[in-house]
Amino acid sequence: MEAAIMEFLRFVRKPVYEYKRGRPLSLKTVTQLYLLVFLFSMILFAPISAVLGIANMPHAIEKMLEQINLWQMFGIAVILAPIMEEFIFRFHLRYPTLIRLYLLSSLIACVLLVYGFITYGPGAFRMENVSVLTSDTKMISLLATSILIAVASWYLMSRKQGITGQDLMVRYFPQVFYLSAAIFGLVHVSNFQLEPEQWYIAPLLVLPQLILAIYLGYVRVRNDIYHSIYVHALNNCIPISLLALGSYLR
């Protein structure tokens, strides 16, 4: 187990494309490493949570439980969300042909996230805000400009000879890896209801998700997408199980 921990830490220090791809981790090791990562993130997050009063902040799960039952929540959080999010945020980490598309999509996502956080607060991209966001002319203009820049960049990169997706992935893999993790974490800021002027605490709120994203990325690179889906589902199963237990005890 100690060797597995050291390998993970070496990867975190400098992510490498196809890191030990021929030596996948066993399911037991993947699970044990996850439990250690989960414990570390909770210990690190505990004082932050206490200072920010996160326990008293409204959370998206609470609002969802007012509209759906616990079994429906389980299906969304433990089955549907892990599959969708792993393919969106980590599928590209072993497919260099997707690198250009991913980088350009990330550019657009980052622009929208920053604008949304500063203008509407960390919870800007919740479903109930869709009508507000789609009627924001500044956001629409910003989105259109970002898409034009992305398309122009795509065209220029496609015309550049001799640089393949594999070359880009190997050369810029650390940046791609941590960008994926950062976007994954920031997207989950929408789980909290905060005022626009509190946008700067967003990275602290999603620290556990950022740490989880790093581990999920490692599992994706070292093993495959199915193992990262398993870890993601396991992570989401913990709070749902605690909610179910609390409901049963009441």
* Domain parsing of the chain, residue ranges: 26-249
88-124 per-position pLDDT tens digit? 889 888 887 777 777 777 777 777 777 777 777 666 6
The one-letter amino acid code at 89 reads F
Which pLDDT value is given to residue 20? 81
Query: Which run of H or of E encompasses 210?
Result: helix 207-222
Nearest to residue 199, comparing CAs of 128, 113, 141? 113
- Provide the b/e sequence for 114-149 (b: ≥16 CB within 10 Å): ebbbeebbbbbbbeebeeebeebeebeebbeebeee
Residue 3 CB neighbours (<10 A): 8
SS3 85: helix
Model-wide pTM > 0.85: no
Which pLDDT value is given to residue 119? 75
Question: Which whole-number Å values give the CA distances from 60 to 179, 231, 248, in the listed order?
Answer: 24, 21, 21
Judge whether residue 176 has pLDDT over 80: yes
Which pLDDT value is given to residue 122? 62
Measure CA 239 to chain center.
Answer: 17
Angle 225-249/207-222 helices, nearest 10 degrees? Answer: 140
- Asked if residues 145 and 169 have their Cβ atoms less than 8 Å apart, the reply is no
Residue 175 CB neighbours (<10 A): 11
Instruction: Give the span between the Cα atoms of 241 and 93, in whole angstroms.
Output: 30
180 vs 56, higher pLDDT: 180
Which pLDDT value is given to residue 106? 78
Measure CA 66 to chain center.
Answer: 25
Which pLDDT value is given to residue 126? 63
Q: Looking at 38-42, 164-168, 170-174, which range is the least confident one?
A: 164-168
Q: What is the share, in percent, of the chain residues with pLDDT greater than 90?
A: 22
Nearest to residue 99, comparing CAs of 17, 159, 21, 162? 17
196-249 per-position pLDDT tens digit? 666 667 777 788 899 999 999 999 999 989 999 999 999 998 888 777 666 555
